[in-house]
Amino acid sequence: MNDYKAIMIGGSAGSFQVVTRIIAALPANYPLPILMCLHRLKHIRSGFVEALSIKSKLPIIEPHDKEPLKAGRIYLAPANYHMYIELGNRFSLSTEDVVNHSRPSIDLSFFSASYNFKKKLVGIILSGANKDGALGLKSVTDNGGLTIVQDPKECQVPTMTQASLNATKVDYVFSTKQIIDFLLKLA
């Protein structure tokens, strides 16, 4: 259970409140890095980190290109860049074209993180209005990682979670509370 090296969360429409609840529940000494790729307005560069930070005991950071990944931090994919995790645990950012109408694309972040961390990654897909993230979560499964999908019945917009369930066999379908309990057990 404690072998995991990172947790990656993808979400879109309807995920903000869920993410806020998850962040608020994590203690200041939470040992794993949390990587969040959330769909956001690409022309608004500031404000999102500040909004998420209000209830967080952990520092929330938009990583710069080549920044090393560190435990005990929450990283948020910056506006208008795709966010990758390179071998060697550094972030890289890219201005490549949108994927699934999105930059950052959840699929692309999950592809690189699952390739890097293999079975030591926990991938979580939350509420969202398109299918971005579904193939990304499949790549977590394919690389031996652990997968969680927010229960579509609980999602404000279940398109993303349902697409993920259709794309791959997930380990757990959890409510927000169950996701929080699971993450706390990893600490």
Partner 1 sequence: MVDNIGIVDTRNIISAVTDAYGIDMSDYTFTILKRRLIHAINTFGSHSADDFADKIRKKIITADDFLYTVSLEVTEFFRDPSLWRELRDKYIPEICRTTDSRIWMPCVTSGDELFSLAIVLNEAGLQGKTKIDALCPSQKHIDLIKKGGNYDQKKIEVSEANYTRYVGKTQFASYYTLTDNRAEMKPTLLNDVSIDVNSDILNTSIAKKYKMVVYRNKLLQFNIPLYDKVIRKLIDSLEIGGYLVIGNMETLEYSEASKKLQIVNANEKIYKKRVD
CB nearer to partner 1: pick between 43 and 169: 43
CB nearer to partner 1: pick between 65 and 181: 65
Q: What angle do CA 141, 92, 107 make, to 5 degrees?
A: 35
Distances (CA, A) of 149 to 9, 44, 48: 10, 28, 23
**Which of 102, 112, 114, 132 is an active site residue?**
132
**Which of 39, 107, 112, 139 is an active site residue?**
39
CB nearer to partner 1: pick between 61 and 173: 61
Residue 142 Cβ vs partner 1, minimum distance, rounded to whole Å:
10
Q: Are 68 and 103 in contact (CB under 8 A)?
A: no
| DSSP state at residue 39 | -
CB nearer to partner 1: pick between 57 and 120: 120
Binding site for partner 1 (CB under 8 A): 43, 45, 62-67, 78, 80-81, 84, 86-87, 92-98, 103, 108, 112, 115
Residue 51 Cβ vs partner 1, minimum distance, rounded to whole Å:
18
**Is 94 known to be catalytic?**
no
**Is 39 known to be catalytic?**
yes
Bridge partners, residue 121, by sequence: 6
Q: Are 14 and 128 in contact (CB under 8 A)?
A: yes
Residue 141 Cβ vs partner 1, minimum distance, rounded to whole Å:
15
Q: Are 1 and 39 in contact (CB under 8 A)?
A: no
Rg (CA), the chain: 14
Place of tokens 């379908």: 173
**Is 12 known to be catalytic?**
yes
| Residues forming the active site | 12, 39, 132
